[in-house]
Amino acid sequence: ERVVGEGGPREGTLAYDRQRLIDSIGAATRRAVESYDKDREAEQIAAAARSAVVNTGLAGVGVGVGVAIAVAAHVVWVDVTGILAGLAAATLGLLILPNRRRKAKQDLAEKLEELRGKLMGSLTEQFDREMRRGTQRIQDTVAPFGRFVRAEYDKISQQQAALTELEAHIIGLQAQLKA
C-alpha cells in the first residue's frame, strides 16, 4: 500500500458525533439547573412575603390605633399626634410591601443571571472541547495523506537528483565521443 501510517481514530459517523455532542450539552445543562436550589429559594421568597405581610398588618394596626385615638379624642381637641402616627404607619405599610416585592424580584433576577452565567460557561466549555476534538480528528485523518505526500516528494526529489546526475554523465560521454 502506498499510504504511509494509519487513518487515526475513527469515532463514528457524523450522526453519532452529533448525538454525543447533544447528550453532553444536555448533561451540562442538567448540572447547571440541578445546582439551583429551588426549595431554598422558595423558602426565602416565602419568608420575605410573610415578613411583608406582618409589617403591613402592623401598619394596619397602627392606622387602627390612630383612628381609635382620633375618635376617642374627637371632643374639642383633635389628637394630632394620633392622626400623624396613623398616617405614618399607613405610609410605612404602603412603602414596605412594594420595597419587599422589588427586592424579591431583584434577588430572583440576580440568581437567574448567575444560573445563566453558569449555563453559558458550561456550554462554552463543552463547545470548545468539541471543537478541539473535531480539529484533532481532522488532523488525524489528514496526517496519513501528509506523510504520503512527503514520502512521494522525497522519492521524486531523489529520482530528479539521479536524473540530473545521469544527464551530466551523458553530456560528459557525448563530449568524449565528439573529441
Inform me whether the pLDDT recorded for 113 exceeds 60.
yes
86 and 70 in contact (C-beta within 8 Å)? Answer: yes
- Provide the pLDDT for residue 160: 96
Q: Model pTM?
A: 0.42
**How do residues 49-86 score in pLDDT, each as one tens digit?**
666 655 555 555 555 556 555 555 554 344 556 656 66
Instruction: Please provide the average confidence, as pLDDT, over all residues in the chain.
Output: 73
Residue extents of the structural domains in the chain? 14-143
- Provide the pLDDT for residue 126: 80
